[in-house]
Amino acid sequence: MADDDMWGISMARSIISAVVKRLLGSQLISSDASDKLRNLLLLDLQTLKRTEVYNYV
């Protein structure tokens, strides 16, 4: 993956993580929902990495 892509993914994860923490702090979402959001983010990042590898094969 290009450095710009990795930087963008990192920034997106940081922003989403901050939003999830705020939502948890204000009790707008449950901890279960928070865990699901975090797992979804990890899955998306892994999918992007796998896709990038397949593009070069």
- Does residue 36 carry a pLDDT above 50? yes
Residue bearing the bigger pLDDT, 44 or 19: 19
Q: What is residue 5's predicted lDDT score, i.e. its pLDDT?
A: 72
pTM flag (> 0.95) = no
Q: Which tokens hold the place of 25?
A: 């702090």
Number of domains in the chain: 1
**Average pLDDT score over the chain:** 68
Lowest mean per-residue pLDDT among 3-17, 19-33, 38-52:
38-52
d(CA 35, CA 21): 11
Residue 15 sits in which domain range? 2-55
**DSSP secondary structure string, 4-41?**
HHHHHHHHHHHHHHHHHHHHHHTTSS-HHHHHHHHHHH
